Amino acid sequence: MTTPLVEMKNISIHFGGIKAVDDVSIDLQPGEVVGLLGHNGAGKSTLIKILSGAYRATDGEIRVAGTPVTIDSPRDARTHGIETIYQTLALADNLDAAGNIFLGREIMTPWGTLDDGAMEQAARQVMKRLNPNFVRFKEPVRNLSGGQRQSVAIARALQFNARILIMDEPCAALGPQETRQVGDLVKRLKAEGIGIFLISHDLHDVFDLSDRVTVMKNGRVVGTCTTDSVSKDDVLGMIILGKLPSQLSSRDRELLQ
Amino acid sequence: MDTASDTGLVVERRGIGGFFDALELDTRLVAMLAALAVIWVGFDVITGGIFLTPRNLWNLSVQTSVVGILATGMVLVIVARHIDLSVGSVLGFLSMVVAVLQVQYFPLGASWNWIVTVLCGLALGFCIGSFQGWWIAYRGVPAFIVTLGGLLVFRGLAWWVTYGTTVAPLDQTFQLLGGGINGSIGATWTWVVGLAGIAAMAFRTVTRRRRRAAMGFPVRALWAEIVVFAVLAAAIVGFVLVMNAYTRPRTDQSQGIPIPVLILIGVVLAMSWLVRSTRFGRYVWAIGGNPEAALLAGINVRRITLFIFGLVGLLAGLAGSVQTARLNAGASSTGELLELSVIAAAVIGGTSLGGGAGTISGAVLGALIMQSLQSGMVLVALPTPMQNIVIGAVLVVAVWLDNVYQRRRR
């Protein structure tokens, strides 16, 4: 196996006395899509927020391309090429598309002022790739449709050459056509060698896109399987029962160790 | 202005609607200008032509400057979902400090005296504001509570400085900051300022247009650009003419722009630049739009919050100096209830209490509207309690109208 893009080893986080994530290890290869599944409250969003810098792990180690790193803030995560598209999209509704795409990473003029022209130009370019029909660059994103807002959030992640992309419930607020668009995008990014974590409580959203799925329950990993060795029903059983299906191949059992 | 449909296509309107669409104006600003025009003409008719005289408008501009200066800072506070109830008291305290330093500690009459005392006021204001901001940002006490405390504390301290004694008279040069008889820049310099403003506006319009065209972005129609420019230039010329038409008592010397108004203009330019062209300004709006998104984008929300309040403190130092100079005295009651006028000006000027929306120019227009109402009511000799009733009602109705307008737009 090649060096994983990212490894999270024995990660735990406590909020007061509650263990939201308890001794969890996951990893991601270049060009691989890993689905992270589980009920609401299973700990998947918390785990991923540790990787994206929103929370700090109580215990455990994160390695990016084999090197141990500390991720104390969203800024740290971004310097390691980790970009996150949050379920809520995390857009400032009163800013326009370019303002959101470059939020926290503005392009500045040599005089240290905001270079809105350059940012709008870059935004137009990246949006052309994602959503060629998009023309409403001068409007606050509040006025955009769900799909358009989603494109802005994705554009923000792509603008900065992400190597590791985290998508939290990417299809939760989308119609069938937009869900398909997200699916196409995932395949395209995967082909570019980007590693993607897809987080969802809905198996059907991610199963067909994922190479592997990891199921979590009550803050722990139930199991990780390659999607071509299990059926949707097996994974559904893992999500609901919190147990591995009995007919798992030995290779998958090995992966769990 | 937003006639774009949800499919992403821009629908072009024709006729009068299309005319206004092409101008790409801020509708809210236009509505406020219309309201201001109604108030001015209304009072002029009622008072039999006293309201729209150079003398009254000149005084109105001076009276607007203190509230206007503070309102530009209050916009940032409210946009970032906070409130500052302490500005009036902080201004009162700083006003006392400036006066006492000037008269009792530094040699009165020294040429450097007024500069040093004003700088002390600004620095102390920044510290006080930052201290309150620290409680809000790093200690998690709601801004409402911190600044409510500040309202009491600093009013108390203002009294404490001299045990309530008024300090007067102040430095001769310092008094010019407040306007007064000699506190304006005369006809020639007023023209220089006005023409420089027009030239700067022309330069900005042309370079902006060139840059957008060079990058292949859509630009405003040329005729629309010219119309907007002509209207703004005419407004500046009109302002210059009015300011110059008011003469010093018993002479035919033009007053020109009063120094406090010049200060206000400088503050508006500086704050607009801060809001539009710096990271700080962008982050304040982002925090107001979605605080969580701002955090996730790696913005140091706490530091920005602290700095917002520091900035308001600094402006309180400046506005306090202007007010003190105008009164030619430091009194511990200076700026009482001023926070309410300032908040009202910002809100009437389109700053949303929900956060994330507001403009500097809107807040100053709001201050001008408030001051016009007040000054007009004084001219028609409305009793003070009646004035309060009108101002209170106007505030509520203005915010209600704004809500209705916002809901229609979506």
Q: Is the Cβ pair A114, B299 closer than 8 Å? A: no
Cα separation, B69 vs B364, whole angstroms: 8
Q: Are strands A18-28 and A6-15 parallel, antiparallel or unpaired?
A: antiparallel
Read off the pLDDT band of B16 (50, 70, 90): low
Most confident of A71-75, B1-5, B128-132: B128-132
A67-69: strand order across its sheet: A18-28, A6-15, A59-64, A67-69
Residues 191-230 of A with CB under 8 A from B: none
> What is the per-residue pLDDT for A241?
78
More confident residue, A240 or A35: A35
> What is the per-residue pLDDT for B7?
40
Is the CB of A134 inside 8 Å of chain B's CB atoms?
A: yes
CA distances (Å), origin A16, targets A13, B123, B146, B382 = 10, 42, 29, 62
How much is the average pLDDT of B273-288? 96
- Least CB-CB distance to A95: which of B8, B289, B296? B289
> Which residue, B78, B81, B25, is CA-closest to B360?
B78
CA A186 to chain centre: 11
Q: Report, in angstroms and rounded to the nearest whole number, the Rg of chain A calculated over CA atoms.
A: 19
Tell me: pLDDT of A257 over 90: no
Read off the pLDDT band of B376 (50, 70, 90): very high
Superfamily of A6-256 according to CATH: P-loop containing nucleotide triphosphate hydrolases (3.40.50.300)
Residue to test with chain A: of B220, B277, B284, B300, most A Cβ within 10 A: B277
> What is the per-residue pLDDT for A253?
52
> Which residue, B40, B87, B35, B44, is CA-closest to B61?
B40
> What is the per-residue pLDDT for B23?
72
Q: Is the Cβ pair B295, A54 closer than 8 Å? A: yes
Query: A159-207: per-residue pLDDT in tens?
Result: 888 889 999 887 776 777 778 878 888 888 888 889 999 988 778 778 8
Read off the pLDDT band of B5 (50, 70, 90): very low
Residue to test with chain B: of A86, A93, A152, most B Cβ within 10 A: A93
How many CB atoms within 10 Å of residue B298?
Answer: 17
The ipTM of this complex is 0.85
Task: Take residue B96 and report the two structure tokens written for it.
Answer: 């006392």
Pick the range with the lowest mean pLDDT from A198-207, B100-109, B278-287, B291-300: A198-207
Identify all chain A residues contacting B292, using CB atoms and an 8 Å cutoff: 88, 90
> What is the per-residue pLDDT for B224?
87
Most confident of A169-178, B75-84, B108-117: B75-84
Q: pTM to 2 decimals?
A: 0.89
Read off the pLDDT band of A151 (50, 70, 90): confident
- Least CB-CB distance to A104: which of B289, B290, B298? B298
Alpha helices (runs of H) in B163-258, residue ranges in sequence order = 172-175, 186-214, 222-245
Tell me: pLDDT of A246 over 70: no
The percent helix, strand, coil of chain A (3-state, each to 5) is 35, 25, 40
Q: Which residues of B98-125 are buried (b: 16+ CB within 10 A; e: fewer)?
A: bbbbbbeebeeeeeebbeebbebbbebb
> What is the per-residue pLDDT for B410?
53
Query: A86-105: per-residue pLDDT in tens?
Result: 888 889 999 999 999 999 99
Tell me: pLDDT of B409 over 70: no
One-letter identity of residue A211: D
Query: B224-266: per-residue pLDDT in tens?
Result: 889 999 999 999 999 999 999 998 878 888 899 999 999 999 9
Tell me: pLDDT of A1 over 70: no
Tell me: pLDDT of B197 over 60: yes
B170 backbone dihedrals φ, ψ, rounded to 5°: -105, 180
Task: Take residue A29 and report the two structure tokens written for it.
Answer: 């290869």
Residues A41, A242 contacting (CB under 8 angstroms):
no
